[in-house]
């Protein structure tokens, strides 16, 4: 049975339980399986040798997730080459593709965790109460070592973009 962290985050002030371990900087990032475009299986290994910003969000069809993903899409153009931005949610890949088309988001790789919740449980972001992913951002270096983690305490808030981008730039220049 997966570890549970009661009250790890809140949604509109209500405490929620996160399922899975708390990922910490300095550790090796767990490998995971997710679903990409056209229902293709995607693993962390497919991004080997790149710095990765992994943004976990509850659903693209909510204002904060929409704003966050658009912001990361804008920032992607300003980041050094070799930095990959992945956004993962429980949204179905078809809905993600529709949203990206409507939002003009083309620099972020969309992943869905709807099938196995493999990412969510390995990265400790599944909200037990509603089955969605909590808002969190992980930065992994070229060797898949975790260099930055933010579990956004209040799910309705946006992450600290500057801290995430600084960590990604630092990892890219290492």
pLDDT tens per residue across span 136-154:
999 999 999 999 999 999 9
Kindly report, residue by residue over 83-132, the tens digit of the pLDDT.
999 999 999 999 999 999 999 999 999 999 999 999 999 999 999 999 99
Q: Where are the domains of the chain?
A: 18-173
- The CATH number of 18-173, from 3.20.20.450, 3.40.50.1370, 1.20.140.70, 3.40.30.10, is 3.40.30.10
Residues taking part in catalysis: 65
Cα dihedral value 36, 118, 70, 172, nearest 10: -90
Q: How many CA atoms lie within 13 A of 107 on its CB side?
A: 15
pLDDT, residue 57, reads 98
Contacts of 158 (CB under 8 A, 6+ apart): 64, 67, 68, 71, 135, 152
Count other Cβ atoms within 10 Å, centred on residue 148: 20
pTM (2 d.p.)? 0.97
Q: Check whether 79 has a pLDDT greater than 80.
A: yes
Q: Check whether 1 has a pLDDT greater than 90.
A: no
How many residues make up the chain in this entry? 174
pLDDT, residue 132, reads 97
Strand order in the sheet with 33-35: 41-43, 33-35, 109-112, 83-89, 51-56, 136-140, 146-151
Do residues 143 and 32 touch, judged by C-beta distance below 8 A?
A: no
């Amino acid at each position: 049975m997966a570890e549970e962290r009661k009250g790890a985050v809140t949604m509109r002030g209500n405490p929620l339980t996160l399922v899975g371990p708390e990922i910490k900087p300095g550790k090796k990032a767990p490998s995971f399986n997710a679903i990409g475009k056209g229902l293709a299986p995607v693993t962390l290994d497919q991004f080997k040798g790149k710095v990765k910003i992994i943004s976990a969000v509850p659903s693209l069809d909510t204002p904060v997730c929409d704003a966050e993903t658009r912001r990361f899409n804008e920032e992607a153009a300003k980041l050094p080459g070799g930095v990959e931005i992945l956004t993962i949610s429980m949204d179905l890949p078809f809905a993600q593709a529709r949203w990206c088309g409507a939002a003009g988001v083309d620099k972020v790789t969309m992943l869905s965790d709807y099938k196995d919740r493999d990412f969510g449980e390995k990265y400790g972001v599944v909200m037990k109460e509603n089955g969605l992913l909590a808002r969190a951002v992980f930065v992994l270096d070229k060797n898949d070592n975790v260099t930055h983690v933010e579990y956004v305490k209040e799910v309705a808030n946006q992450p600290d973009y500057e801290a995430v981008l600084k960590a990604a730039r630092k990892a890219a220049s290492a």
